[in-house]
Amino acid sequence: MVQEVWPQNKILKGIAASPGIIIAPAHVLADRKRIQIFYRYLSSPQQGAQEQERFRQAIALTQQELIQSKEAIPEDFREHAYILDTHLLILQDRLLLDETLRLIQQEKINAEWAVKQAVKKAQALFEQIADPYIRSRVQDIEDVSERILRHLTGTNSSSFTNFKEPVIIVAQNLSPVDTTQMSVDQVQGFITEMGGKTAHTAIMAQCLRIPAVVGVENATREIDTGYTLILDGLTGTVIVNPDTSMMAIYLDRKKKFENFKAEVNRASFRPAVTLDDYPTRIMANIEFQDELDLVLDYGADGVGLYRTEFLYLRQHHLPTEEELFEDYKTVAHIMKPKPVTIRTLDIGGDKFASYSDYVQEMNPALGLRAIRFCLKEHQIFRSQLRAILRASAFGSVRIMFPLISGVQEVVAARRMLEDIKAELQRENLLFDPHIPVGVMIEVPAAVMLADLLAQEADFFSIGTNDLIQYALAVDRGNKYVAEMYQPLHPAVLRMVKQVVNAAHVAGIPVAMCGEMAGDPFYTPILLGLGVDELSMNVPSIPVVKRIVRMATMQEAQEFAHQALQLGSIEAVSSYVTNFMARRFPEVFMFGRELVNSNY
């Protein structure tokens, strides 16, 4: 009999999804394959009615299952149950519910095939969304539809309990609900072939503090149950059957990382003030009000970016002014006296196809979106502005207009805001008459007009994700050019400096709310360029605060000045890397990985 030879020290690479280092045996969910769906033509109206009823029953069973999963979330992590609320809302979403019922009736197809077609349509719609974070939310629709299909086809899902020893789960894909069903005593980490770091599965893993690596190609084929694995959720590395030497290296790395993380988190409530007494406000980017507990836990100085699109995407109808007002009021009240910056709608007209004549655009990133859409659809914009103004009576609220490309857009938006203020006064409704109004600097035109825009704004917020994309003409979602998306491109640094100079001459502050703001690798250079406020995903806050507290403004300014003299990406990157490795070695070793694994 030939004895099987196990591979040793085999390295698999994926995406770091939840930080931490775990060493444990693998348990492969090899039976967790995509559900087989077959087409069936419905030959009579009666069959159509039966299929619709079968689909509604599957929806009801899925709803019941999600509610049970939500109730089973441990009390300590209940604040993250909003992710399952999102899945419950998807069950009522017109993209899935109405579209599937329509397809069954009009196309005369079986429920399973109709669900599959509805999901394809949703995937195509989300693919057109410019914001990568919102675009990735289509994974939630895919997860929910898979659960519906399991009920339609009678396919059982896998169990995540009753293991003989703690294991690392290896699967093709996992949903957020699967993650909530994992016992942290038995499941020490997981590896999937699918998924990204902004998926709700990854977010749940972070909340439950389960290390995870996603996007590992062929993981279920490369790994067998029983193999010993090192899962490095900081770098996205998986080592299969490590030898004793490799094991010793990672045990030491694990110990150092856990010490660093504990030290960083203990100090997260301390203010971000440099060694020579220059304060910097460290703010949070959020999408749901349920994230506010974490915002406060991590010691944020406020909310620098509240994305408001989800309220418009999650239900059958446009949100009413009252619904928006209640949501914004709650956020303002909880954060009071800390500021909350509400960004007005930043999606395109095609997402409102059910209410208007807009059709899918060929290039939505350059199309009718954000402030352009709002200034065209006055009623939708007015409703949101009224809700934001009314919420401003319950806390420190700021309003921010996205994708501004000219002075006329700010003037038009502010004119509408002033009209609504007068309207609210006539109605005896409370609001902050001096609510600060900000302009997002996201396109090169806004950079060039920064001095003029500064005359019309109370603050700037640089959205680096879009600014870098538009300035360098690079789609970072395109694998052929993604490596050209470089925050340290000399043109990007000079644009940031130009915006800061124009703002400070006009006496207004400059914030930054793109991903660059939350990466500790860029913190010293942004301080030196003069950015006054950094807003980021919540887990980045402790690490960025630590860098600010370890720096001096004088050295940051000298560092940024030298960087601005360099003419190539390679020269700037080398300069910044050497400086960070020398000046912040511990943070450089773990801080960036800790933050990036949480994006």
* DSSP H/E element including 384: helix 378-391
Retrieve residue 218's tokens.
């062929």
Place of tokens 């896998």: 158
86 half-sphere exposure, CB direction, 13 A CA radius: 26
Q: Which of 27, 151, 207, 513 is catalytic?
A: 513
Retrieve residue 561's tokens.
């000045």
Is 87 a catalytic site residue? no
Q: Which of 107, 98, 25, 165 is nearest to 354 (CA)?
A: 98
Rounded to a whole number of angstroms, the distance between the first and last alpha carbons of the chain is 48
> Using CA atoms in the order 575, 581, 587, 588, what is the torsion angle rounded to 10 degrees?
70
Place of tokens 């990007």: 492
Q: How far apart are CA 542 and CA 298, in angstroms?
A: 7
Q: Which of 150, 193, 192 is nearest to 168 (CA)?
A: 192
Longest dimension (CA), the chain: 90
Burial of 316 per CB tally in 10 Å (0-12, 13-18, 19+)? exposed
Q: How far apart are CA 198 and CA 123, in angstroms?
A: 16
Our separate counts of H helices and E strands in the chain read: 27, 16
Is 513 a catalytic site residue? yes
Q: How far apart are CA 299 and CA 549, in angstroms?
A: 14
Retrieve residue 390's tokens.
């009314």
Distance from the Cα of residue 555 to its chain's centroid:
32
Burial of 218 per CB tally in 10 Å (0-12, 13-18, 19+)? exposed
Q: How do 281-286 and 21-28 pair as beta strands?
A: unpaired
Contact (CB, 8 A) for 331 and 289: yes
At CA 351, angle to CA 346 and CA 357, rounded to 5?
A: 120
At CA 150, angle to CA 148 and CA 151, rounded to 5?
A: 65
Place of tokens 């059982």: 156
Q: What contacts 31, CB < 8 A, 6 or more positions away?
A: 158
Place of tokens 């460290």: 282
Q: How far apart are CA 389 and CA 385, in angstroms?
A: 6
Q: How far apart are CA 463 and CA 595, in angstroms?
A: 19
Contact (CB, 8 A) for 537 and 585: no
Q: How far apart are CA 356 and CA 54, in angstroms?
A: 31
Q: Which of 200, 207, 374, 489 is catalytic?
A: 200
Catalytic residues: 200, 513
